[in-house]
Structure 1
């Protein structure tokens, strides 16, 4: 079983060894957004996760009986793992009870703290090829504690002294096991964890004023954390004793679930926002620090970045609209009469860092269909720029790019993206980060290459002949606009215009 803690919902998936989905469930999540602020309550995550797991177990098909047998009245799951949004963090007490709300992955209030953390630990971050951003958990910890340059909630020397650092999935796995558990190195990365030495940079934490916090032990993704306790079994319907496995971030989970595991393969996760991640033999060095490297369970590296562009812009501009109908209308607007950069929230993180970046549209759309088409095309143009950036850094891109994420429900958008990228696009049968966590759980309990057995590619879309050339002009227009605003560095803009 895999559980994915998203922005708007929790999703769970029960999968067999050969990739057949036996059951699925979901539960909505809500939060508080106001300006740069984006918070959620951890208790809502647990209620959502428990509901999604219960739905998944109750929807198991009759064919599940061969691989999932009852145990003490509950369905036996051989292993489960949990992923969450990268950079989402809160503080808890020693028992795991929340002391603060959760600052979500795109909460942008820690700008001053990010600059302070970058300057204070520059020698460490430079060696790791990292640049601390306001969306990163390390900057948010400074904001929460009031340590360093920021003005946060409480002083680390007061109420929060000794508080435990908790990433989004840590809260769920702790509730499942019944006690605080180690975090995984994937989620720890944006909290400043050193993947090369496999340790927290304690000297930097001391200089930042964070030494009073309890940073969790860190284990590799796929490491057993414990088993489901009696209380969690009662809440979720899982059998007591079910193994709980350390997960990865949602972007890494989608990479696992995409089947794109060979060096040179890349996957884009398009949901509320856009995440691009690939596979390299060695870490990919990025002097700008907007691309970072996760370590995969098999020893390869997973460089990638998360943009604030995404499908969330569609529901923001067209709330409650019939998107399938708008898809049909957009097909006659290639290209749209305007060029859009559809940021979901203020600030951009990849393929450039610009805390003041805002969504924009160049020109006035002629009607709703034109506006909607510009948003679809704008996301795809940003995706094209992200791929150009990884090529700019020297990364190989072999074979089709894999598409995962909720946006793959739109067949029209999938084809449009393949056209604009000018590359084949592979679409797995299950475009869900929860599948990646099921793959990781299977790998942990069986010890074999579960991804090759469990991931099924539904189709490969080829770019339509000549379709991509229609978007060369809008792509250059977007690159020019980003450069004029001072967001996209000139060397990257030049490369994108010539090779993107």
Structure 2
């Protein structure tokens, strides 16, 4: 059976996964990077590459490369690297989390809104285009040395294949590429001090780029390098949410919802933005400032007893909106939003009500998505730390009144491996995901709990409206 490798290069490390065509993970390895204030702004691409070579060699031990067919890469969205004509970095990678580009972000947003209003306009400090502009302003003397601006995943794909001139739909969205018309809009070089020749060719994620040319022990030259994807989208692929109507909720530090629609979702408030699916569909997504960060901050890491107690308390009649910072961005925009909760709760009641509150936010998000898209949410897959709580899964299935599928493998590296298979072994991404994703468990709604949560959900929405949040 053919095998496939997915590489994930994140802010804090590199991970490789070797999987077969049924989605079984045969080997994995990871290496961590030290995290500091400086590494949130800039990192060395060469450090990434050295880490990638080491984790690749680990998963390719014992002749594992014999049936290896393809490899792909996922990494952070919005991270940018200027390279010269020898494909060498002119500057450390300017990370998505670098907040120094506020002025440039505002300029890009204003310019795009005027000259390409139907395209991507939600530029900010996490976007790639403002980082290109910032680099030119900071180092004008280096403009003549620039050959290309590339993204984090592109650098690793370039090191593997020798091709730095091509990227994919997802990585270029926040660099200004218009995924509707599949072209770079002219305002980038006509209204901003950038050059057209600095911008890469763009292909759908999963497109074969060429054979491996890198010298890595165990990695043969018969292996195909496949165009990559941003980390959030790769995790969505690993969840199995790749067909219209299917959606993924990841509850980590924040609550992130991504799915697939037939048509692009137009949101006048800018809560959702659309990636382009390799098969021509759309991949809308949005992120709430609520999530699971309140769990460890309020209750620590020893949660077994609380989860056991929560299972006996469902449903509570308490309201708890566990927002740990001021301001909400999805499914409603409310800069003034703050945490609120019913008074006098025990720890177990507060813990349970917090899980219910996040589930109410998730339901409201899906209602907004259906309203804006005119399409039905047919399946919800889930990932993130919160999916390890059976009590929380039960709450969510009954609040949503839909089965919730917890997936077995949901890492970005696994998503990249599926992407590698989609363009080389299978005929499409949907076929690859159907074969390679595995449901660990499904939690179905129960009529009595659904009815109870229906009433509680509307009480929660009423409280949001009373406070002027939604």
TM-score by length of 2: 0.83
Q: Which runs of 5+ in 2 are unaligned?
A: none
Distance in 2 (CA, whole Å) between partners of 1:454 and 1:78 is 15
C-alpha displacement of 1:82: 1.3
Distance in 1 (CA, whole Å) between partners of 2:343 and 2:41 is 33
Q: Which residue of 2 aligns with 1:466?
A: 448
Instruction: Please list, as runs of the form range in 1=range in 2, the aligned pairs for 1:18-417 lying within 5 A after superposition.
Output: 18-32=22-36, 38-39=40-41, 41-43=43-45, 44-58=47-61, 70=66, 76-94=67-85, 95-97=87-89, 99-104=91-96, 110-128=101-119, 130-146=121-137, 154-155=138-139, 157-159=140-142, 162-163=145-146, 164-178=148-162, 180-211=164-195, 214-231=198-215, 233-234=216-217, 237-317=218-298, 321-332=301-312, 334=314, 335=316, 339-342=320-323, 348-352=328-332, 356=335, 360-362=339-341, 366=345, 369=348, 372-417=351-396
Deviations 1:369-407 (CA, angstroms, capped at 9, x unpaired): 555445434433332222121012033224331113454
Change (3 A) 1:473 1:207: farther
Distance in 2 (CA, whole Å) between partners of 1:48 and 1:317 is 35
C-alpha displacement of 1:194: 0.9
Distance in 2 (CA, whole Å) between partners of 1:256 and 1:191 is 22
Q: Is the deviation greater in 272-281 or in 435-444? A: 272-281
C-alpha displacement of 1:193: 0.3
Distance in 1 (CA, whole Å) between partners of 2:133 and 2:326 is 20
The answer (yes or no) to whether the contact 1:406–1:432 under 8 Å persists in 2 is: no
Change (3 A) 1:316 1:2: farther
Distance in 2 (CA, whole Å) between partners of 1:42 and 1:375 is 40
Distance in 2 (CA, whole Å) between partners of 1:462 and 1:173 is 41
SS in 2 for 1:467: helix
Distance in 1 (CA, whole Å) between partners of 2:297 and 2:417 is 31
Distance in 1 (CA, whole Å) between partners of 2:273 and 2:159 is 30
Distance in 2 (CA, whole Å) between partners of 1:395 and 1:27 is 43
C-alpha displacement of 1:19: 2.3
Distance in 1 (CA, whole Å) between partners of 2:134 and 2:298 is 31
1:423 to 395, 399, 402: 402
Instruction: Please list, as runs of the form range in 1=range in 2, the aligned pairs for 1:431-470 lying within 5 A after superposition.
Output: 431-448=410-427, 449-468=431-450, 470=452
Change (3 A) 1:98 1:410: farther
Distance in 2 (CA, whole Å) between partners of 1:440 and 1:134 is 28
Distance in 1 (CA, whole Å) between partners of 2:336 and 2:80 is 23
Change (3 A) 1:372 1:102: farther
C-alpha displacement of 1:112: 4.2
Q: Which runs of 5+ in 1 are unaligned?
A: 71-75, 147-153, 494-500
Change (3 A) 1:469 1:50: farther
Change (3 A) 1:279 1:179: closer
Q: CA RMSD in A?
A: 3.5
Distance in 2 (CA, whole Å) between partners of 1:305 and 1:271 is 14
Change (3 A) 1:205 1:363: farther
Deviations 1:298-326 (CA, angstroms, capped at 9, x unpaired): 2222222233433344445556x224444
SS in 1 for 2:424: helix
Q: Which residue of 1 aligns with 2:16?
A: 12
Distance in 1 (CA, whole Å) between partners of 2:353 and 2:272 is 27
Q: Is the deviation greater in 361-370 or in 265-274? A: 361-370
The answer (yes or no) to whether the contact 2:261–2:373 under 8 Å persists in 1 is: no
C-alpha displacement of 1:462: 0.6
Distance in 2 (CA, whole Å) between partners of 1:69 and 1:131 is 42
C-alpha displacement of 1:133: 4.1
The answer (yes or no) to whether the contact 1:96–1:180 under 8 Å persists in 2 is: no
Deviations 1:472-492 (CA, angstroms, capped at 9, x unpaired): 576556656666776x5xxxx
TM-score by length of 1: 0.79
Distance in 2 (CA, whole Å) between partners of 1:477 and 1:113 is 42
